[in-house]
Structure formats: C-alpha cells, structure tokens
C-alpha cells in the first residue's frame, strides 16, 4: 500500500518567506498546498519546484483580505492530509498615523489579523477533530514582541495581536493535551520584496529568507513557541524588556524614521 503523503499549507506562498517555506518543506518531502493572490506566480513556483522535488503541488489563488476566501482555503485544506500550516500571508505599511491611507490599513488588518485568526482557528479545529499531530506556524514579526512602533503603528499592532493569540492558544492546547503545536515566527528585517510593498528601508541589516526559514523550520519541529531567527533581534527583544515601555517606544520611533529611504 502506498504511503499517504503529508501536506503543508502555505499562505502568502508566491514570494519572500512563503516561497522559501515552499522550497524547504518540499525538500523535506512534504507535498504542498500553495495559496496567494497572484495565480501566475503560484504556477511559476509550482513549475520550478516540480523540477526538483517529487511531491504533489497544488495551487489555490485566493485573496485573504476577504473572509469568504479564508473559509475556502480552510475547506480545501481539510480535503488533504495537511500536517503543517504556515500562516504567512501579511502586509505592511509605513508612515505617520494621520498620513497613511485608512483603506490600506484596513486591508492590512484584514490580512495580518483576521485572515491569520480564521485560518488558525479552522486548521486547529480540523487537526483536533481528526486527532492529527500537526504544526501551525503564525508568521508574525519581532515587532509583535515590542511595546509599539511609531510610523508603523498599525503593522506593530497586528503583529502584537498574533503573538498574543499564539501564546494564549498554545496554553489552551497544552491544557487539553492537544497534539497540535502552535508557534509564532518573529523575525526582524528579512531581505524580501515585502520591504518595497511596505515602503520601508530597514536601518538594520536583514537576513536572507533562506536563513530565516531554515531556522524557523528547525525550531517549529522542535516545538519552540516564539521563534526569533537572528541573534541581533533576540538580544534586542531581551533589552527592550529591561527598558520602560515609553523609552522602548521612543527608541523604536527613532529607528522607524531611519527607514524612510
């Protein structure tokens, strides 16, 4: 009897960190359900991966700023033996709070918070109803571990939401002896096209998507809850906890101003 292949669901898979998760999980033998808005990019990625990895790859174009499409992704994933969820789709923006576009901020909240919340809930319910040992990684940011970020106020707030949600859900899973591991990836700057879309230029040197994902995958499968890939960012998060929140926010604000390139 042929062994049933396990799948990884990856949202925001067409570029950056999501694209690299697709590569590294395919290399580990996982079949893939890839989700993003841009169908042509998904197809191109599928064609590239099929040349190198003997796994099944399915693509599902979807705009996760719409709740109905989040539900569609969850229903399609439930038809497959999904064991890993990379809850990665996200947006960013930069600028003074009174100057940034409200419509863009609402879309940012829809994708960074609402979509990730829905998929976390739906996939956790799916895993537990089936008694599956699974892994869910919410891609947040080191921004979510800090008190706040002037000039990226909405972005920091959405990432703090996902960090807080991950911690709470992880605790509930432990209480009921769930077989599901829920974690949050909280990277600092990563060299991807996200930076252009968010209109930022980081003052700190970024790490590669490959390095970020390699560390994330290793720690996810070891059961780490909060994953921060970069010694510099881990040190920065620790130091921020030693300073008064008001001081940390002011320091963050000065760093954010340097991003305006």
Residues taking part in catalysis: 155, 159
Q: Are 8 and 86 in contact (CB under 8 A)?
A: yes
Token pair 């949050």 is found at 184
Buried b (16+ CB within 10 A) or exposed e, 35-60: bbbeeebbeebbeebeeebebebbbb
Structure tokens at 160: 């703090």
Of 192, 189, 201, 135, nearest in space to 20 by CA = 192
Q: Are 37 and 63 in contact (CB under 8 A)?
A: yes
Cα-to-chain-centroid distance, residue 128: 21
Buried b (16+ CB within 10 A) or exposed e, 124-135: bebbeeeeeebb
Say how many residues make up the chain: 261
């Amino acid at each position: 009897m042929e062994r049933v292949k396990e799948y990884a669901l990856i949202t925001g898979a067409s570029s950056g960190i999501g694209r690299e998760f697709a590569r590294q999980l395919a290399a580990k033998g996982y079949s893939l359900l890839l989700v993003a808005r841009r169908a042509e990019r998904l197809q191109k990625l599928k064609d590239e991966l099929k040349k190198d990895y003997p796994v099944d790859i399915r693509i599902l174009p979807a705009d996760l700023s719409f709740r109905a499409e989040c539900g569609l992704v969850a229903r399609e994933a439930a038809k497959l033996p999904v064991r890993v969820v990379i809850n990665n789709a996200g947006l960013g923006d930069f600028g003074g709070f009174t100057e940034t576009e409200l419509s863009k901020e609402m879309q940012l909240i829809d994708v960074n918070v609402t979509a990730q919340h829905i998929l976390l809930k739906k996939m956790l319910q799916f895993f537990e109803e089936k008694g599956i040992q699974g892994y869910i990684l919410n891609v947040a940011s080191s921004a979510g571990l800090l008190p706040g970020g002037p000039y990226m106020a909405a972005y920091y707030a959405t990432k703090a939401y996902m960090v807080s949600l991950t911690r709470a859900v992880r605790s509930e899973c432990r209480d009921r002896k769930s077989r599901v591991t829920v974690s949050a990836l909280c990277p600092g700057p990563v060299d991807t096209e996200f930076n252009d879309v968010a209109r930022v230029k980081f003052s700190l040197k970024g790490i590669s998507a490959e390095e970020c994902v390699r560390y994330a995958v290793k720690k996810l499968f070891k059961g780490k809850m909060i994953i921060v890939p970069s010694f510099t960012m881990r040190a920065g998060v620790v130091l921020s906890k030693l300073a008064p929140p008001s001081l940390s926010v002011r320091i963050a604000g000065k760093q954010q101003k340097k991003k305006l390139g």
